[in-house]
Structure formats: structure tokens, C-alpha cells
């Protein structure tokens, strides 16, 4: 039968220390000033990084060192006590900001220096019969302090990570809602975003697995292939913002494995920070409408989903269909709009279109080629023809309502 955790813990033998002599404790207390002074001197001599700190940071670290020595004496005096309270008592003297400017490795170097100082003074503090016990106590104490330091830094890292994630979520929300340029720039600067151009936004499904690992994996890849990046989880959707990416649209497929099942939609490049909200709106609208095109590639561009977005009520898609397709065809010569209308209405028949317009079939081919050159969409390709026909519908509706 497996014992309960509490029972198992209760049966564990508790490590105890023999009580030090009153003389040793008295000498330890009398050496507090010497130990603290020697420790600060060692820090200055043995740790080059300590000398380069700001005065307030050096003072805070010195306070930690002195507090560490005094708490050791207090702990050593009572053999029945446990050093667990050292975490709060010793590191409570250090401001949280120290964890930003001083690495865990440096903090452990500080601890090592303090231990060396105390050990070097053991012969002057304790009689020979108690020196081994005192050294063992120093080692046990240093082990607890090392674990305490690791715990402090781990909690600080978790706090920073959670705070950074909240900041990123606020920035993404500001982008999606078209917040003013000055306010958005301030938010971006606060999270270290430096780019001002060539920004692309991707929207995909949040994977059902651990969201923390998903975000970490995305950030690692983004660091390799873009200058700046932002990741935000918005329920079932996840948004990734990249700037100055080192791969083209065709290479964005390497990102799909990090998202959940479903489409991954990428926006057109936003030339400036001002245009980020338009790119974000396009990507969000594309993600919402992508299910209407089951055969869409993955990832798929938001601009490739103009018809689906327009039918789903996206005003940006309707504006793009008008500005990029319908109006250029209206303004073009050689009857391109009329030829395209007939070609689509007659089931993509070149001969039928030629008969209806009383022109040669080669003339129809030439005009359809010009349609492709003017709009960027080829009427001879089924998907492109659907986009063109959607633009004609949107354009004529706009004309009739004007």
C-alpha cells in the first residue's frame, strides 16, 4: 500500500545539528562586522562585474551579503530551526529590479564569495573540535540560499513573462481596433518593437495543446526569421505579427505546424505602422471567411479571399474589389469590361464570346490577356475568374446604389 504524502513526509528523518557552544556563538556574533567588511572587500576584488554596477545596485547587493551572514549566525545559533525562512529574510532585502540587471549566475557567484569568506574565518571563530561542524553548517546554509536564489529568479522570470504577454495582448488589441498612431507607437516602444515598415500579420487557430509551449515555439521561429514579433492568443484565434521577415509569402507555410487545424491567413504587407490596423483587419476578416473556400492553400493570403470576405460583409474587401479590379477595367480601353462580362456569362467560351461581340476569337484572347495584365487576375484560371466575377457583381451594385 502506497503511503499518503503527508505520512511519508512525517516518517522522513529530520536532519539535526549538534548545538554549538556558547563561546562559538559569541565569537560568531562578535565577528559579524569583520565578516561583513571582508565579504564586501572580496566582492570588490573577486567579482569584476560587481565593480561596474550602479551605486544603488552595489548597495543593494552589499545589503544582501550582510543580511546573509547575519541570518546564518541566527540560524546556526538554534540547531532545531530550519533554514527555509532564509528565502524571505535574506532576499527580501534586495529589490526586484536586481533580477533584471544581475543574472542568476552572478547571484550564485555572490553566494560563493560569501561562503569562501565565512569558511576562511572558521579557524579564528571556532575551536578545532567545532570547526568541522561549523564548516558543514556553512555548506548546508549555502545550499539553502542557492535554492532560495534560484526560486527568486524563477518567480521573477515567470512574472516578467506574464507581464510581457499581457503587454503584447494589449498591443495586438490596439492594432486590431485601429488605435491612434502616437498611442500605438508608444505601446510598441514599451515592448521593444523597433520596426516601422514591412509588417505582416498572420491569424490562425489556437492549437488545443499547451498555449505556453505554442507561444514559445512561435517566438523562437519568429526570432530567426523576422526583426520584431508579437504573439497573442485571442480565444480560438491566435495572432502573429512579424516585421522585416526574411522569407517570402511562399515560405510562410513553415509556420502552419505551430497553429491548430484550420486555415492560416496572412495579411498583405503593411508599409508603415499606421497601416498595421488595416492589415490586421484584412487577416481577421480572411480568417473568418476562409471556411467558404475549402480548397484554399494553407497558408492563404487575405487578398486571395476577397470574394469570401466581401460576401461575409467585409467592407475592406469590397473596396479592394472595386479599386483593384472593377474600376481599372472601367477605365481601360478596348472593351475589356464588356469582353470579360460576356466571357463569364457564356461559360468561359471564347468562340461564344467572339460571336456575341462580333469579333475574332483571337481578339477575345488578346482582351482577356489584357484583363489579366490590368487586374493581376487571369480569367482563364477558374479561381481567378471567380474573383473577377465577384468584382463585377460588387462594382455594378456600387454603381446602382450611387
The pLDDT of residue 10 is 44
Q: Are 70 and 141 in contact (CB under 8 A)?
A: no
More confident residue, 285 or 221: 285
pTM: 0.60
CA distance 157 to 388: 53
Maximum mean pLDDT: which of 18-27, 45-54, 388-397: 388-397
H helix intervals, 177-295: 181-190, 211-225, 276-289
Q: How would you class 116 by CB atoms within 10 Å of its CB: exposed for 0-12, middle for 13-18, buried for 19 or more?
A: middle
Complete DSSP assignment for 59-85: HHHHHHHHHHHHHHHHHHH-TT--GGG
Most confident segment among 24-38, 68-82, 171-185, 254-268 = 254-268
Task: Please tell me which residue, 142 or 366, carries the higher pLDDT value.
Answer: 366
Sketch out the chain's domains with CATH numbers: 16-159 (1.10.490), 181-311 (3.30.70.2730), 315-401 (1.10.10.2840)
Q: Is the pLDDT of residue 116 over 50?
A: yes
- When pLDDT is cut at 50, 70 and 90, the band that residue 4 belongs to is very low
User: Rounded to whole angstroms, how far apart are CA atoms 376 and 347?
Assistant: 21
C-alpha cell at 195: 520596426
Q: Which three cell numbers stand for residue 244?
A: 522585416
User: Does the structure show a pLDDT above 90 at 103?
Assistant: no
Asked if residues 328 and 371 have their Cβ atoms less than 8 Å apart, the reply is no
Among the listed residues 237, 241, 107, 144, the one whose alpha carbon sits nearest the alpha carbon of residue 187: 241
3-state SS assignment for residue 204: strand
Q: pLDDT category, 296, cuts 50, 70, 90?
A: very high
Confidence of residue 9 (pLDDT cuts 50, 70, 90): very low
Flag whether pLDDT at 8 surpasses 50. Answer: no
Residue for grid cell 463585377? 392
CA distance 180 to 117: 57
Question: Distance between CA 266 and CA 280 in Å, rounded?
Answer: 9
The answer to whether 39 touches 114, Cβ cutoff 8 Å, is yes
Amino acid at each position: 500500500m502506497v503511503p499518503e504524502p503527508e505520512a511519508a513526509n512525517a516518517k522522513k528523518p529530520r536532519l539535526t545539528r549538534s548545538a554549538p557552544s556558547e563561546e562559538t556563538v559569541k565569537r560568531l556574533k562578535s565577528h559579524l562586522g569583520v565578516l561583513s567588511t571582508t565579504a564586501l572587500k572580496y566582492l570588490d576584488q573577486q567579482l569584476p562585474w560587481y565593480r561596474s554596477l550602479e551605486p544603488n545596485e552595489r548597495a543593494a547587493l552589499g545589503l544582501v551579503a550582510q543580511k546573509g551572514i547575519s541570518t546564518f549566525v541566527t540560524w546556526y545559533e538554534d540547531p532545531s530551526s530550519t533554514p527555509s525562512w532564509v528565502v524571505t529574510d535574506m532576499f527580501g532585502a534586495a529589490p526586484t529590479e536586481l533580477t533584471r540587471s544581475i543574472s542568476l549566475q552572478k547571484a550564485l557567484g555572490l553566494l560563493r564569495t560569501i561562503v569562501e569568506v565565512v569558511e576562511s574565518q572558521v579557524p579564528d571563530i571556532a575551536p578545532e573540535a567545532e570547526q568541522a561542524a561549523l564548516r558543514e553548517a556553512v555548506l548546508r546554509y549555502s545550499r539553502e540560499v542557492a535554492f532560495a536564489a534560484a526560486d527568486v529568479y524563477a518567480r521573477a522570470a515567470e512574472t516578467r513573462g506574464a507581464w510581457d504577454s499581457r503587454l503584447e495582448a494589449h498591443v495586438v488589441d490596439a492594432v486590431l481596433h485601429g488605435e491612434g498612431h502616437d498611442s500605438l507607437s508608444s505601446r510598441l516602444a514599451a515592448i521593444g518593437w523597433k520596426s516601422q515598415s514591412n509588417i505582416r500579420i498572420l491569424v490562425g487557430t489556437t492549437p488545443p495543446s499547451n498555449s505556453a509551449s505554442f507561444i514559445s515555439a512561435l517566438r523562437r521561429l519568429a526570432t530567426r526569421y523576422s526583426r520584431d514579433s508579437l504573439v497573442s492568443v485571442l480565444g480560438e484565434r491566435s495572432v502573429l505579427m512579424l516585421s522585416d521577415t526574411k522569407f517570402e509569402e511562399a515560405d510562410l507555410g513553415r509556420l502552419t505546424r505551430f497553429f491548430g487545424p484550420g486555415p492560416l491567413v496572412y495579411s498583405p504587407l503593411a508599409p508603415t505602422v499606421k497601416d498595421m490596423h488595416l492589415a490586421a483587419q484584412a487577416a481577421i476578416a480572411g480568417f473568418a471567411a476562409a471556411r467558404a473556400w475549402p480548397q484554399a492553400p494553407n497558408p492563404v493570403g487575405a487578398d486571395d479571399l476577397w470574394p469570401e470576405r466581401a460576401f461575409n460583409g467585409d467592407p475592406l474587401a469590397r473596396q479592394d474589389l472595386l479599386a483593384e479590379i472593377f474600376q481599372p477595367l472601367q477605365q481601360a480601353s478596348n472593351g475589356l469590361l464588356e469582353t470579360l462580362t460576356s466571357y463569364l456569362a457564356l461559360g468561359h467560351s471564347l468562340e461564344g464570346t467572339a460571336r456575341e461581340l462580333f469579333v475574332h476569337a483571337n481578339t477575345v484572347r488578346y482582351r482577356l490577356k489584357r484583363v489579366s495584365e490590368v487586374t493581376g487576375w487571369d480569367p482563364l484560371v477558374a479561381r481567378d475568374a471567380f474573383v473577377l466575377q465577384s468584382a463585377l457583381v460588387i462594382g455594378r451594385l456600387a454603381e446602382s446604389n450611387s
